[in-house]
Amino acid sequence: MNPMDLLKLKDKFKRFNEDHPKVVPFFKVIGERAMVPGSVFEIKVTDPNGKEYVSNIRLNENDIDAINAILSVAMMGK
């Protein structure tokens, strides 16, 4: 990945974290307690009209490695 892209990602993550300060602590807790193979990761999105979209995955080792890599890049220099 281009180093400039990493810096942009870092800046975007910083802004996201400022706008949504509860997200990082939440991921820290699940990272310590629940991010193990077999855990189910569920995402629910409700659009402005009230329509809900839900999906989930059962985590495996590759998923956990990918999530940890993304978080480590996003939190680079934090």
Q: Does 77 score more than 60 pLDDT?
A: no
Which one is predicted more confidently, 48 or 13?
A: 48
Cα–Cα distance, 48 to 7 (Å, whole number)? 32
Render pLDDT for 14-60 as a digit per residue (tens, 0 to 9): 899 899 999 888 888 888 899 999 999 999 999 999 999 999 999 99
Number of domains in the chain: 1
**DSSP H/E element including 17:** helix 3-19
Range of the structural domain that residue 48 is part of: 3-74
Tell me the helix, strand and coil percentages in the chain, rounded to 5: 55, 20, 30
Q: Which of 55, 74, 76 is nearest to 16 (CA)?
A: 74
